[in-house]
Every structure is written in structure tokens, then in C-alpha cells.
């Protein structure tokens, strides 16, 4: 199985900051990497697919990059609604594992 | 608009079974691959299972292989997840999600989840 490892597990930041979350796959997954945001108690929401493609309607302050095994999610100019937990997901090979999550806190 | 509504969760004893359902609307259900994802209390997301649009291919997380079946009724826009021989560690919110395909795929719509609590 492909293991997805996110870092950091938690992150403290302030409104207006720029933050970067990394996701590493245990073997290459090309760009088959999705990023989701979850604000409890809600269901996750897709932000980015194919490692770097923003879902329509997602603010442009979100961006993704990477290919192979190393990926990043960057948020430029944090807004209050961005404080949430973020997950990466391998969509290359079943089981379609998620990272353990990164909790972004004020 | 796209809606996914899960049902069938509840409190169940270890070793028992439960059948979860997901009622879909707002899209042509028979043309989309569907997935189940779960989240244990206070924990992260865990991918559980998928089924192709026509039921031709299915897959499960290792911990549920042999204990779960996934099925769909395209005429009634419904997805099912049958969980057997339930364990304490199966306690979670179970989400159904619709997959959108490009060259890859992503989960673009999620239900609100149904809670399964396995307890003696």
C-alpha cells in the first residue's frame, strides 16, 4: 500500500500568513494527488486535484504543486475560514490512502 | 443540485452486521464511480471502498476485505455498504462520495455522513 505522510501534523498561524503543508507518498504517484479541507463537523471538501488544479470556486490563495512523491499545499494570505484540517489523498493506486491530516490553528 | 444522503448507521454490538445506504440525487448516478470514506472519532480520514459506475470493479481497504460488500442500485440511485463481523475499530462516521474523473479522479461531492458505533 502507498503510505501518505503529511507534515506538519499541526500548524499555528495568523490571518494574513502564508503557510505550506507537505505530503509525501511512499512511492511515486505521478500527479494523482488530491487535497481536501475539513471544518468539523462538516464533511471534507475538495480543494485541489491532479496535484495543482484548483477546483472551480476555490479561492486563488490556495495552490498546489509537486509530482512523483513530494507535494505541497500553499495558502497565501490566510483567511479566518481557512483554519481547518487539510488532507492529501493518493488517487493513483488502491487503497486510495489519505495523509493523517494537518490541523491549521490560529 | 447534487445531494448524497447516508443512512443506516447506529449502535451495534461487536460481531454484528450493518447495512449503510447512500441516496443520490441531482446527477446521473449510473455514470459515476462512488466511494465510501470513514472517520473514527477525533481521527483522520480513511478510504474504505469504491465501486465503478456499472459495478464491474470494486475495491476495499485491507481491514474490511472479507467483511464488507459494496453494491449499487442504479435504477434507484442508491449505494450500499454492507459491514459484517463489526469490530470496535469500525466505529466511525461513514461518508459516501461521488468521484469525478479526468485522467485521474477526485471526490467532488460528499454526503453528511452516518455514524456507526460498535460497542458491547
**Each residue's pLDDT tens digit in chain B (120 positions)?**
999 999 999 999 999 999 999 999 999 999 999 999 999 999 999 999 999 999 999 999 999 999 999 999 999 999 999 999 999 999 999 999 999 998 899 999 999 999 999 999
- Check: CB of residue B18 under 8 Å from CB of residue B116: yes
Chain A residues with CB-CB distance to B2 below 8 A: none
Closest alpha carbon within chain A to B114: A43
Mean pLDDT of A6-26: 97
Specify the pLDDT at position B72.
98
For residues B22 and B87, is the Cβ–Cβ distance under 8 A?
no
DSSP code per residue over chain A: ---EEEE-SEEE--TT-EEEEEEEESS--TT-EEEEEE-TTSPPEEEEETTTEEPTTS-TTEEEEEETTEEEEEEES--GGG-SEEEEEE-SSSS-PBP--EEEE-
Decide if B113 contacts B36 (C-beta within 8 A). no
Q: What is the pLDDT of residue A106?
A: 83
Give the per-residue pLDDT at B103. 87
**Å from B119 to nearest chain A CA?**
22
Contact yes or no for B110 and A99 at CB 8 A: no
Q: Which residues pair with A91 in a beta bridge?
A: none
pLDDT score for B118: 98
Residue A35, C-beta contacts closer than 8 angstroms, at least 6 positions apart: A23, A46, A47, A48, A49, A62, A64, A73, A86, A87, A88, A89
Mean pLDDT of chain A: 97
Q: Is the pLDDT of residue A40 over 90?
A: no
Q: What angle do CA B23, B29, B35 make, to 5 degrees?
A: 70
What is the least distance, in Å, from the CA of B54 to any CA of chain A?
A: 18
Q: How far is CA B116 from the centre of its chain?
A: 12
pLDDT at A32: 97
CB-CB neighbors (< 8 A) of B112 in chain A:
42-43
Amino acid at each position: 500500500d502507498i503510505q501518505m505522510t503529511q507534515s506538519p501534523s499541526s500548524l499555528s498561524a495568523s490571518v494574513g500568513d502564508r503557510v505550506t503543508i507537505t505530503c509525501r507518498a511512499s512511492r511515486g504517484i505521478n500527479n494523482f494527488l488530491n487535497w481536501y479541507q475539513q471544518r468539523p463537523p462538516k464533511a471534507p471538501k475538495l480543494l485541489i486535484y491532479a496535484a495543482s488544479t484548483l477546483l472551480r470556486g476555490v479561492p486563488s490563495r490556495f495552490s498546489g504543486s509537486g509530482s512523483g512523491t513530494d507535494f505541497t499545499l500553499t495558502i497565501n494570505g490566510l483567511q479566518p475560514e481557512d483554519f481547518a484540517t487539510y488532507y492529501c489523498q493518493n488517487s493513483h493506486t488502491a487503497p486510495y490512502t489519505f495523509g493523517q491530516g494537518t490541523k491549521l490553528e490560529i | 443540485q447534487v445531494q448524497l444522503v447516508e443512512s443506516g448507521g447506529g449502535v451495534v454490538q461487536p460481531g454484528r452486521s450493518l447495512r449503510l445506504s447512500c441516496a443520490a440525487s441531482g446527477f446521473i448516478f449510473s455514470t459515476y464511480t462512488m466511494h465510501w470514506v470513514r472517520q473514527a472519532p477525533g481521527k483522520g480520514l480513511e478510504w474504505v471502498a469504491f465501486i465503478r459506475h456499472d459495478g464491474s470493479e470494486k475495491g476495499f481497504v485491507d481491514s474490511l476485505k472479507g467483511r464488507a460488500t459494496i453494491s449499487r442500485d442504479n435504477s434507484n440511485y442508491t449505494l450500499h455498504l454492507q459491514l459484517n463481523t463489526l469490530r470496535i475499530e469500525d466505529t466511525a462516521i461513514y461518508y459516501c462520495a461521488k468521484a469525478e474523473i479526468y485522467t485521474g479522479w477526485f471526490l467532488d461531492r460528499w454526503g453528511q455522513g452516518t455514524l456507526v458505533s460498535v460497542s458491547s
